[in-house]
Amino acid sequence: MTVSFADIEAAALRIAPHAHVTPVLHSASLDALAGCRLRFKCENLQRAGAFKFRGACNAVWSLPEDVARRGVVTHSSGNHGAALALAARTRGIACHVVVPEGAVVTKVAAIVRYGATVHTCAPSLAARDALAASVQRDTGATLVHPYTDERVIAGQGTAARELLRDEPELDALIAPIGGGGLIGGSAIAARALRPQIHIFAAEPEGAAEAHASLERGERVTELQPDTIADGLRAVLGQINFDLLRQHDVRVLLASDAEIVAAMRLIWERLKLVVEPSSAVTLAAILRQRERFSGQRVGVILSGGNVDLDQLPWCH
């Protein structure tokens, strides 16, 4: 099981009629704070508000017509569910999303708005997989896993590909890591387009599976996530872990307090609404300034789906 740069090139063509080419922004005042030149790939401005639309769209449009007609199903507490719902709508097919109780309200609302059927389950892996399997049995829908699906990983890689087309001279690239779909695709694209680039995954201290896995040399999956970055609480996938090692990705950590401070800086200086999961990148850079000093650093801002009534700094 593997994903190649050719798969990412094919995904880019496949999703081009549907996905936005997102802008790359920078801020002189953030550069001064960080001591390096930051180039932000704004996937919060992607359709459905996150990079997830790239992978979902590639998966949906990869299906043969007779398979597509039976619809797609996934489990997701948020952005992937909304992305798959919108992607399914672009092809006019049904979408089912299994959502655990307690998911972020605005994210579930988006899944519904894009026309998917929501199936609520208890917040456990077993309940989730059982319900998804039962939907598959009943409908014949194709399962599109949020981050281990190869079509999804290839789609996520199109963001880094676009970023490196706009900014070919990057010294480093950093993206958040949860299950590992975004960083997996990003690593494949970045190594292909700029072999000498340093690639970093930014991870919350409260959900540091990737960090622990690379230290131990095998995949760690038993940690209980406890972080404000709701998009990064997923269990690291095996293919994703393999991609980290294959492409020499290093993991940098940030605390929730650092994530919130970085999120606020992005809102204030870049004027972008980003969710906590996006801000872990800038938080990690600010914690390790010396590592990036003077460099050109590509930063993937993964998404902007945040509950505006629940901002961490106004209660």
| Binding residues vs a copy of itself (CB under 8 A) | 23, 25, 28-29, 44-45, 47, 49, 106, 113, 264, 267-268, 270-274, 304, 308-309, 311, 313-315
Closer of 1 and 308 to a copy of itself (Cβ): 308
Question: Min. distance of Cβ 101 from a copy of itself in angstroms?
Answer: 23
Question: Min. distance of Cβ 82 from a copy of itself in angstroms?
Answer: 11
The residues with which 201 forms a beta bridge, in sequence order, are 175, 251
Closer of 126 and 314 to a copy of itself (Cβ): 314
Closer of 46 and 227 to a copy of itself (Cβ): 46
Closer of 126 and 308 to a copy of itself (Cβ): 308
Question: Min. distance of Cβ 273 from a copy of itself in angstroms?
Answer: 4
Q: Is 218 left (phi over 0), alpha (psi -120 to 50) or beta?
A: beta
Strand ranges of the sheet holding 198-204, from the earlier edge strand across to the other edge? 24-25, 37-42, 296-301, 172-176, 198-204, 249-254
Question: Min. distance of Cβ 305 from a copy of itself in angstroms?
Answer: 8
Q: Are 51 and 153 in contact (CB under 8 A)?
A: no
Closer of 29 and 246 to a copy of itself (Cβ): 29
195 Cβ partners below 8 Å, 6+ apart?
none
Q: What are 25's two structure tokens?
A: 């922004």
Closer of 137 and 271 to a copy of itself (Cβ): 271
Closer of 103 and 274 to a copy of itself (Cβ): 274
Question: Min. distance of Cβ 130 from a copy of itself in angstroms?
Answer: 33
Question: Min. distance of Cβ 309 from a copy of itself in angstroms?
Answer: 6
Question: Min. distance of Cβ 308 from a copy of itself in angstroms?
Answer: 6
CA angle 121, 126, 239 (to 5 degrees): 115
Closer of 49 and 81 to a copy of itself (Cβ): 49
Closer of 13 and 311 to a copy of itself (Cβ): 311
Tokens 């939907």 correspond to: 135
Question: Min. distance of Cβ 271 from a copy of itself in angstroms?
Answer: 3
What is the maximal distance between C-alpha atoms in the chain? 56
| DSSP collapsed to 3 states, 70-130 | CCEEEECCCHHHHHHHHHHHHHCCCEEEEEECCCCHHHHHHHHHCCCEEEEECCCHHHHHH
Task: Report the alpha-carbon distance of residue 156 to residue 146 in Å, rounded.
Answer: 11
105 Cβ partners below 8 Å, 6+ apart?
307
Question: Min. distance of Cβ 68 from a copy of itself in angstroms?
Answer: 21
Task: Report the alpha-carbon distance of residue 184 to residue 190 in Å, rounded.
Answer: 10
Task: Report the alpha-carbon distance of residue 299 to residue 171 in Å, rounded.
Answer: 11
Do strands 24-25 and 95-100 pair parallel, antiparallel, or not at all (unpaired)? unpaired
